[in-house]
Amino acid sequence: MKKMMSVILASALAVGLLTGCGGDTKKDDAKSNVIKIGVFLPLTGDNAAGGELELRGIKLANKLHPEVLGKKVELVIADNKSDKAEAASVAARLIERDKVKVLLGSYGSSLSMAAGNIVKNSKVPAIGTSCTNPQVTANNDFYFRACFIDPFQGTVMANYAFKNGARKVAIIQEVSNDYAVGLAKFFKDAFIKLAGPDSIIEVANYQTGDKDFSAILTNIKAMHPDAIFAPGNFTESALLIKQARQLGIKAPFLGGDTWETQEFINVGGADVEGVAFSTAFDREKATTAEAKKFLDEYVKEYKGEPSALSALAYDAYLIAIDGIKRANSTDSVKIRDAIATTKDMEGVTGKTTLDKNGDPIKGAVIKTVRDGKFKYIDFVDVK
Amino acid sequence: MKNKRDLILSAILLIVLFGASWFANSELDSYIRRIVNLCLIYAIIGLSMNVTNGFAGQFSLGQAGFMAIGAYTVGIFTVPVELRANVFYAVPMNPFIADIQMPVWLALIVGGLLAALVAFLIGTPVLRLRGDYLAIATLGFSEIIRICITNASSFTNGALGIKDIPPLNDVRYIFVVTAITFVFIAALINSSYGRAFKAIREDEIAAEAMGINLYKHKCLAFMISAFFAGIGGGLYGTLLGTVDPKNFLFTLTYNFLLIIVLGGMGSITGSMLGAIIVTAGLEYLRIFDEPLKLFGTMIPLFRPGFRMVMFSALLMACVLFWRHGIMGTREITWSKLIAFCKNPIGFFKRKGAAQ
């Protein structure tokens, strides 16, 4: 039996080896009428849900814009397993093996950072979809992104809080989450500038996966803050807000774009009504022609409301196509130069202009939860 | 003399492999180099884990914690000083370490020594435990390390992680470190210490009755294991160019547990084999992720993520049919290789009869 199994396994591997060799014979050169765009996203592992949503956006964009410079755009999709080492090897694989001209991805800043050195050394531009950590594009001429970054989002929420009369704010951050730490830091800096040095009365920390926040909340209740800024993962945040209301804290909660998922409302129920958070996209504010097309097609294709992640991924693809078009070339360095000068590119999340770091300059939408639904309340443009 | 022959053959093999790594470094593309490097680094960590788990028989799950220590030491001390303000943008770097910059090799050794020191400190109380209890205690320890790193922002940049570690995708460098690790651990296992480790693994009471100092030997195995895990972790950090605490979740340890269980607990060559099979095999299985057209129709099963299903199925098959891993506690030795070359069919027949 054991022998038979070995024979079967060995033959399975041998067959695999043969099929594997067949795939590598494709030639790629300037004359080819296909332009390859690599997509590396977490399609398995912890971040698979986010990766899948972004893949939808990119696939939809590819369906609506299948050609550039008269050539067909081919997506080469690869899974990075939500693992940094895999993210680095898969980025190298897409560039070396598949000879992609532009790389899109990834969901998750740390996964994108792992690919940073590779795109820099092989001089292939990459466009991040929803990696908000400033370090992704800092000191890297070949990394760009479609989403706004933590400093901007933190500042937007600080301005919003100040505008609505908050003068004393407590921060509760998910300290093991780079996104939450970044947001909290820039919220703090911006708010102190607006309301004075004593305006942040407390900075409390919790860990990913925590379920009980009563110690933090009892402490904060005694300080009577006007508002509480609590960036973090949606499950923990919803539980946090629920427990705060049970303790009788009336202060409004502010947060970031991670809250925009149905699970946040499912977990939080009536208690999360009235929270405010910033995000990249809302259909009411979606005024561009591209946005209308995106919304119609998305509903047709996937039967459901599009999320901001899909919209950002869609825009990342558009930035790439726009860059190739303006470069009028399939040379990666020329495409990089063109992407770096992206200006007023019309996408789903508004007009995108990239600054000298490769980060977009664009406004943020502020949303709330009303009657169990996300509702648009404000739009903050960059000055 | 058999020993002399083996020694010469091993030396020749090492030189040939070093030549091969030289070739790989200059001729192959960066993707293949990366996979080779990852195989080598995982082999180092697999070997280190095998010292405690396979040879000394102490079921420890702290490898991710030791790797984190090594990786962060390299991360903190090799980032160029002028780039540090950019990296530590949320909380400025602690002035005590802000101006210390080390070359990679020194940072690797410091990281390894630091990991060994921590292993000594926690080993003293924890190694009194056995079996499941030791596993839980070491698992808890690796989580403690990760949470300390998350909260010590002025040293480690907290959850934001460290970027701009000078990248090291050099096969020669990593090969040399792997070779040193391999030779050291092979020599250790064949020394009186190694025999003491194995005695402890087989029966602690009998070993103690034979005059083996249990505590001393367990602690030694634990520290050596931590040292090489720290070095492996440091190389892992430089290969990626960035480290962050979420890298070192306890699930990372299971990666290496998989490697040593698949290769064979208590087999050095088995760990090497396991590391190569798991790392390169998983990359190789990417053919299942690519769309496949058969007779003009797309097969819907072939989509990103399918390789993980295949990988798990293959793993189950392996574990079902080779219950002690591919190598068990056996090793690939020169005499076996020569016997195999002389008579490939007879070699397996003889082995089959012996079982």
To the nearest whole Å, the CA of A153 is away from the closest chain B CA by: 15
Q: How far is CA B5 from the centre of its chain?
A: 29
B interface test, pick of A39, A95, A181, A207 with most B CB neighbours within 10 Å:
A181
Is A135's CB within 8 Å of B160's CB? Answer: yes
* Cβ within 8 Å of residue A242, ≥6 positions away: A267, A268, A269, A271, A272
pLDDT of amino acid A233: 87
> Could you tell me whether strands A345-347 and A71-79 are parallel, antiparallel, or unpaired per DSSP bridges?
unpaired
Taking contacts as CB-CB distances below 8 angstroms, the residues of chain B near A43 are: 304-305
Q: Is the CB of A85 less than 8 angstroms away from the CB of B239?
A: yes
Write the residue in B29, B35, B159 that is nearest to A175 by C-beta: B159
* 8 A C-beta contact, residue A97 and residue B287: no
Q: Tell me: do A126 and A159 sit in the same domain.
A: no
Q: What's the confidence (pLDDT) of residue A9? A: 60
Q: What percent of chain B has pLDDT over 90?
A: 57
CATH number of the domain encompassing residue A179:
3.40.50.2300
Q: What is the pLDDT along chain A (383 residues), one digit of tens a residue?
A: 556 656 666 665 555 555 544 444 444 455 678 999 999 999 988 888 889 999 999 999 999 999 999 899 999 999 988 888 899 999 999 999 899 999 998 888 889 999 998 999 999 999 999 888 888 998 899 999 998 888 888 889 999 999 988 999 999 999 888 889 889 999 999 999 999 888 999 999 998 888 999 999 999 999 999 999 999 888 899 999 999 999 999 999 999 988 988 889 998 989 999 999 998 888 777 778 889 899 999 999 998 888 888 999 999 999 999 999 999 998 999 999 999 999 888 888 888 889 988 998 888 889 999 998 888 888 887 75
Confidence (pLDDT) at B30:
86
Query: Domain range for residue A228?
Result: 151-279+366-380
Residues A229, A333: one domain? no
Q: What is the pLDDT of residue A2?
A: 57
Shared domain for A291 and A307, answered yes or no, is yes
DSSP state of A329: S
| H/E stretch holding B277 | helix B268-284
Nearest Cβ partner of A79 from B159, B160, B304?
B304
Most trustworthy range by pLDDT among A155-159, A204-208, B6-10, B64-68: B64-68
- Name the residue of chain B whose CA is nearest to A186's CA: B90
Contact criterion met (CB < 8 Å) for B89 and A134: yes
- Residue B226 in contact with residue B116, Cβ under 8 Å? yes
**Alpha-carbon dihedral angle through residues B187, B193, B194, B195, given to the nearest 10 degrees:** 130
pLDDT at B205 over 60: yes
Task: Report yes or no on A340 lying in a domain.
Answer: yes
Same domain, yes or no: A259 and A161: yes
Asked whether residue A266 falls in the same domain as residue A295, the answer is no
Residues A183, A242 within the same domain: yes
- Answer whether B158 sits within 8 Å of A175, measured CB to CB: yes
A101 and A158 co-located in one domain: no
Rg of chain B over all Cα atoms, to the nearest angstrom:
22
Reported confidence tier of residue B76, pLDDT bands at 50, 70, 90:
very high
Answer yes or no: is pLDDT of B1 > 70: no
- pLDDT in the model for residue A105: 84
Q: Could you tell me which residues of chain B have a Cβ less than 8 Å from any Cβ in chain A?
A: 29-32, 34-35, 38, 83, 86-87, 89-90, 147, 150-151, 158-161, 163-164, 167, 236, 239-242, 244-247, 283-284, 286-287, 289-290, 304-305, 307-308, 314, 317, 321
Neighbours of B128 (CB within 10 A): 13
Contact status, residue B117 vs residue B145, Cβ threshold 8 Å:
no
Q: B116-141 pLDDT, tens per residue?
A: 999 999 998 998 887 789 999 999 99
Domain residue extents for chain B = 2-347
**In the CATH scheme, what architecture does the domain B2-347 have?**
Orthogonal Bundle (1.10)
Set of chain B residues whose Cβ sits within 8 Å of the Cβ of A59: none
pLDDT at position B49: 95
Distance between CA atoms of residues B178 and B145, nearest Å: 25
Q: List the single residue in B with minimal CA-CA distance to A76.
A: B290
Are B159 and A181 within 8 A, CB to CB?
yes
Rounded to two decimals, the ipTM of the complex is 0.84
On whether both A212 and A345 belong to a single domain, the answer is no
Please give the tally of structural domains in chain A: 2
Q: A376 vs chain B: nearest CA distance in angstroms?
A: 30
Residues A376 and A255 grouped into a single domain: yes
Q: For A114, which of B160, B240, B314 is closest by C-beta distance?
A: B240
| The pLDDT of residue A82 | 87
Among B276, B279, B282, B286, which would you mutate to test the A interface (most chain A Cβ atoms within 10 Å of its Cβ)? B286
Same domain, A187 and A218: yes
A172 neighbors A240 (Cβ within 8 angstroms): yes
Cross-strand bridge partners of residue A118 = none
Nearest to B163 among A2, A135, A185 (CB): A135
For B214, the enclosing helix (H) or strand (E) is: helix B214-240
Which chain B residues have a beta carbon less than 8 Å from that of A181?
90, 158-160
Which of B67, B40, B48 is CA-nearest to residue B225? B48
Angstroms from B62 CA to nearest CA on chain A: 19
- Residue B309: closest CA among chain A residues belongs to which residue? A44
Clarify whether residues A38 and A179 are in a common domain.
no
Which of the four pLDDT bands, split at 50, 70 and 90, describes residue B337?
confident
Residues B145, B250: contact at Cβ < 8 Å? no
Residues of chain B with C-beta less than 8 angstroms from the C-beta of A79: 289, 304-305, 307
Summarize pLDDT for B227-265 with one digit per residue, the tens: 999 999 999 999 999 998 988 988 899 989 999 999 989
Q: A250 with A371, same domain?
A: yes
In a domain, A17, yes or no: no
The angle subtended at Cα B171 by Cα B169 and Cα B174, nearest 5°, is 90
Lookup: tokens for B246: 């979420």
Classify the C-alpha dihedral A172-A178-A183-A189 as positive or negative. Answer: positive
Residue A18 lies in a domain: no
Mutate to test the interface with A, among B27, B31, B277 (most CBs of A within 10 A): B31
